[in-house]
Structure 1
Amino acid sequence: MSDLSNYALPAPLLKLLQQYLQQRVTPAIEIDPEQLAYRWVGGRTGHLEPLAVNLFLSLDDLQGIDTQKSKLVQNTRQFLKGYPANHVLMTGTRGAGKSSLIRALLQAYHSEGLRIIEIARDDLVVLDKIRAAINELPTDCACRYIVYCDDLAFNGQDESYRTLKSVLDGALDSEQDNILVYATSNRRHLLPQMMKDNISIYDGQTDEVNPYETIDETVSLSDRFGLWLSFHPMNQQTYLQIVQHYLKMQMAQMPNNNDDGAFSVDDFASNKELPETIRAEALRWASERGGRSGRIAYQFSRYWSGKKLLAAEGDDFDAVK
């Protein structure tokens, strides 16, 4: 930012002008291709913060969403190969694995050049500058970037969605070979659709000459995502299979897991039924949380395995309740 002190303006006005510019100007953005993931922090005048990535979660760990997973993997592989690919919108029930899929993709394909930049909905105003920074990387850079926005939704007064529309395909230069947007949302159309808008059209209580254009505007953003993936509540069988998978992982990491003779890793093999006591406990856990999902199954596995480790040390909390 240039020095404003050389301008013939009163000192208080110069100070106000400098504060205004500091609030409106985004610092230069630099991206290191060796860094696997970034997160934008600090609002309009923020920066890309490198993330320490934990690559423990694999695609195989995400069960019960095979169709969605295969479509997302195919789209991502097309992207990494330089073939045509689509922006992706993942919608549906909470805890179904939408965000986990992004982390698992990075684990699977970071060696092939996949990189992630996480950005919050309120920071979408800097998306154009992030895209410009990616395009300024050396031409021999083999990295390709997924800009990931979690829990994407807008209210009727929020104009920041127009920035995202421009990046997706509204601008002339928005078709990029090295950047895609993957977003998750609980709302498929991202912008609210009000019953009163439809009623106003049907009974003539609207001042708009072309009222249907208002409805078109509310769906125009989600239409710019070429691939829609829907996630639905899972049934009991799928939930228990996921519990079984995570418990097997937890048991494999436990020291001396066979010492007490109660359970072993083999008890959680995929071709066996869960022990009845654990099955009942897992179902009760889901019932208390109002639903079944991969997230709830993972949380139960941590609860159960942690409780077992405590008991192995002689700290049997259940015995004193």
Structure 2
Amino acid sequence: MSNYLTSVKALPSLTIYRNIMEDPIVKAVTRHLDAVSAPTGGINPIQSYSEVCHLLSKTSNPFTTGIDAWQNHLLDLILKDVNPFSQAAYTPGADYSVFNEAVCWDLTILRSLFNLSVTDIYESTMSVLQCFFHFTGDPALPPWVAAQPAAKEHSAIDEGFRQTKEEFAAEPQWYKLVEELAQHYAFFGCGIFGGHIAFKWENSALHGISQPDTIKLSELIDYADLREQIIDNTLQFLHGYPANNLLLYGDRGTGKSSTIKALLNEYWPRGLRLVEVPKNQLADYQLIIQELRHRKHCFILFVDDLSFEENETDFKDLKALLEGGIEEKPDNVLIYATSNRRHLIKETFSDRKTNDDNREIRSMDSVQEKLSLADRFGMTIIFPTPDQETFIEIVLGLADQRQLQVAPEELRQRALKWSVWYNGRSPRSARQFIDHLEGQLALGKLS
């Protein structure tokens, strides 16, 4: 245990990774090691041990081979830490190598702390209790036992973190992994960017989305020619070539939003990230740009179901975002919006009256300002409502994906009835029908 105490005493010597010292679990482990080293110093080892176990029980269970909850947590802190080194590695053109020596120093300290396992913590605690408090272990102080993680499909970003963690766990001299650590930051990012691929801008701050929609391009049926235009524009963006802001227009349920979310799942390994921006947050565009500028990832600002009533003025914020104000929009940010309304802003016949003495002078200028908002998107992709045969093709394709054992003619008849009784013909309606049909089959209600 003396080696671990030396590591704890060395924590204040951290230079780049000093944030780790403020983590509640690191603090709890530090307090407990102090209690074990000086059992009569006023800190009760049972209480400090219980605090460590309680905090660790609330962390996510690791699925990395060969490390326990404490070691997993320490590696998470390192891989997501926001510090001058991680920020430089995540910033295009920045020289992170100026921090290499300091990082080597810190990693040497942190590696010795990583060597401490929860089993070591338990055994040292029991040893101290038996020696100084004549603790017989009746009732026994419970050893740390992590709950077995539920079986689930881990995301590709989880797999990327797991690989880095296993590389660190296998290397006894962490200072040799400085370059690998820099490459991890360059690919995944750091801080909130290090653990997420999808975000939402809310209350003037960026928030990570832990479980984004998993829809894939391969699961979307029909509209292939339209999606090809969107994919091409996105690939231009990811390769650093000029690309356009997009407006995806069409009736509800035609797959506009699903297409954008599927782009993220297809291209996040190439550096694509998605930021959902509600319409009422568009006035924060300068803050959003400042947050995303100088990042190695390419960000699509996703504005869903975009439209404005005639008395709303938020469209001016969108115009500023599309056209750019005094501050130049960075090359790593595009806007993809969806709308059910071609002109985005509601126009009434009263806007066109010319015999009202109280009307706005040059009122047609205001009308044109409203109607021209959609034109400020570089490309408008129109998603039409599918005809009957296209709707049936989508239904058949979804049934094939789900491997539903229903005769095609019966499937056709049921799908057409569904479109009449419920939400009409659209990809969304087709998916809702297939969900219903799958559930009915599972319950044995269909022969």
TM value normalised by structure 1: 0.74
Could you tell me whether the CA contact under 8 Å between 1:64 and 1:234 is conserved in 2?
A: no
Structure 1 stretch displaced more, 45-54 or 119-128:
45-54
The amino acid that maps onto 1:285 is W
CA distance in 2, matches of 1:280, 1:55: 31
TM alignment of 1:155-304, pairs within 5 A: 155-198=309-352, 200-201=353-354, 203=355, 207-251=359-403, 263=405, 275-304=408-437
CA distance in 2, matches of 1:102, 1:82: 19
Structure 1 stretch displaced more, 118-127 or 51-60:
51-60
Higher relative contact order (CA 8 A, sep 6+): 1
CA distance in 2, matches of 1:83, 1:224: 19
The amino acid that maps onto 1:71 is Q
1:38 matched residue in structure 2? 199
Q: Which has the higher helix share?
A: 2
CA distance in 1, matches of 2:372, 2:410: 50
CA distance in 1, matches of 2:281, 2:231: 27
User: 1:60 offset after TM fit, Å?
Assistant: 2.4
TM alignment of 1:307-318, pairs within 5 A: 307-311=440-444, 316=445
2:96 matched residue in structure 1? none
Out of 131, 136, 141, which is 2:289 matched to? 131
User: 1:205 offset after TM fit, Å?
Assistant: 5.2
**Structure 1 outlier segments of 4+, above 3 Å:** 53-56, 172-175, 203-209
The amino acid that maps onto 2:200 is R
2:126 matched residue in structure 1? none
1:27 matched residue in structure 2? none
User: 1:276 offset after TM fit, Å?
Assistant: 1.8
Unaligned runs of 5+ in 1: 1-29, 253-262, 268-273
Residue 346 of structure 2 aligns to a residue whose secondary structure is coil
**Offset from partner CA, 1:159-183 (integer Å, 9 cap, x none):** 2221221111141434421001111
**Offset from partner CA, 1:113-168 (integer Å, 9 cap, x none):** 0000001111212222011111143xxx2x10001011111112222221221111
CA distance in 1, matches of 2:359, 2:211: 52
TM value normalised by structure 2: 0.54
Could you tell me whether the CA contact under 8 Å between 1:155 and 1:191 is conserved in 2?
A: yes
Residue 443 of structure 2 aligns to a residue whose secondary structure is helix
2:249 matched residue in structure 1? 91
User: 1:101 offset after TM fit, Å?
Assistant: 0.2
The amino acid that maps onto 2:307 is A
**Aligned-pair Cα RMSD in Å:** 2.1
Count of aligned pairs between the two proteins = 257
CA distance in 2, matches of 1:123, 1:135: 18
Query: Which of 1 and 2 has greater Rg?
Result: 2
